[in-house]
């Protein structure tokens, strides 16, 4: 039975994901979501399901304990896991909170996005789009791999600001995603957290971090 996959975002990465994954799982198993009909038209794979809607809103409306895909592929210019959590809890229960500068300065090749999300990478170069994440050596440089980013960031959390990490698993060369269960597990952790926290989505080489705080939590 083909796995059901939601690809959220129909830019370069989303379209590439659709083309690769439809060849593996069949076009009918893929749902591609984007608020732009023009962007959806870029995905020319026949038979995929197309939904013209903002990705995080689609996920919030359609993802439930009983209705879930096998895989979610985030291909948006936002931190999807964080945005979903924010929609689930509401802005009266969760707000963004900047990461401490001393922590940001210790992150590998850190770049702060317009929304305040922190993007990190082991690479200071453009990775090949079809990287297969080999176990021992970097595809681009041939050098030994550094510590997996998702492991590194999990260890950088602090007692008063834990890092809750979702590992992005490789579904095909250059295509990463995670199971819906990981989002519900993340929601449980945020609900049980007091004070500051950070939501992280990371693969072996790259990651995105969003700092937050539950409103009303004891300091």
Place of tokens 């850190």: 110
Cα–Cα distance measured from residue 131 to residue 141, given in angstroms and rounded to the nearest whole number: 12
Contact yes or no for 171/73 (Cβ under 8 A)? yes
Specify the pLDDT at position 73: 98
The SS3 call for residue 103 is helix
Specify the pLDDT at position 130: 82
What domains are there in the chain, each with its CATH number? 1-77 (3.40.50.720), 79-219 (no CATH)
Does residue 218 have a pLDDT over 70? no
DSSP, res 115: T
Specify the pLDDT at position 216: 65
The DSSP annotation for 22-84 comes to: HHHH-GGGEEEEES-HHHHHT---TT-EEEES-HHHHHHHH--SSS--SEEEE-SSS-HHHHH
Q: What angle do CA 191, 53, 56 make, to 5 degrees?
A: 20
121-140 mean pLDDT: 84
Does residue 108 have a pLDDT over 60? yes
pLDDT digits (tens, 9 = 90+) for 94-105: 899 998 888 889
Question: pLDDT-derived band of residue 125, with 50, 70 and 90 as boundaries?
Answer: confident
Return the bridge partners of 49, or none.
Answer: 31
65-91 mean pLDDT: 93
- CA neighbor of 210 nearest in space, from 82, 78, 59: 82
Cα–Cα distance measured from residue 218 to residue 67, given in angstroms and rounded to the nearest whole number: 34
Cα–Cα distance measured from residue 17 to residue 22, given in angstroms and rounded to the nearest whole number: 8
Specify the pLDDT at position 159: 81
Return the bridge partners of 175, or none.
Answer: 172
Cα–Cα distance measured from residue 170 to residue 134, given in angstroms and rounded to the nearest whole number: 11
Specify the pLDDT at position 65: 79
DSSP, res 107: S
Q: What are phi and psi of 27, to 5 degrees?
A: -60, -35
121: its two tokens:
């990478």
Contact yes or no for 199/164 (Cβ under 8 A)? yes
Specify the pLDDT at position 112: 93
72: its two tokens:
């979610």
108-126 mean pLDDT: 92
């Amino acid at each position: 039975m083909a796995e059901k996959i939601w690809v959220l975002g129909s830019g370069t990465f989303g379209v590439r994901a659709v083309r690769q994954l439809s060849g593996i799982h069949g076009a009918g198993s893929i749902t591609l979501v984007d608020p732009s009909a023009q962007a959806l038209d870029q995905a020319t794979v026949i038979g995929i399901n197309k939904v013209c809607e903002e990705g995080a809103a689609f996920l919030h409306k359609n993802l439930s304990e009983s209705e879930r895909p096998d895989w979610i592929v985030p291909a948006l210019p936002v931190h999807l896991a964080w945005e979903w959590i924010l929609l689930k809890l509401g802005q009266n229960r969760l707000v963004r909170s900047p990461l401490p500068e001393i922590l940001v300065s210790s992150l590998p090749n850190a770049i702060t996005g317009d929304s305040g999300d922190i993007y990190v990478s082991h690479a200071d170069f453009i990775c090949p789009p079809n990287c297969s994440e080999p176990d021992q050596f970097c595809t681009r440089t041939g050098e030994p791999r550094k510590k997996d980013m998702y492991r590194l960031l999990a260890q950088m959390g602090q007692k008063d600001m834990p890092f809750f990490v979702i590992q992005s698993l490789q579904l095909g060369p250059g295509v990463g995603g995670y199971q819906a269960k990981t989002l519900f597990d993340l929601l449980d952790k945020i609900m049980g957290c007091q004070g500051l926290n950070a939501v992280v989505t990371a693969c072996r080489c790259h990651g995105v971090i969003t700092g937050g705080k539950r409103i009303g939590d004891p300091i």
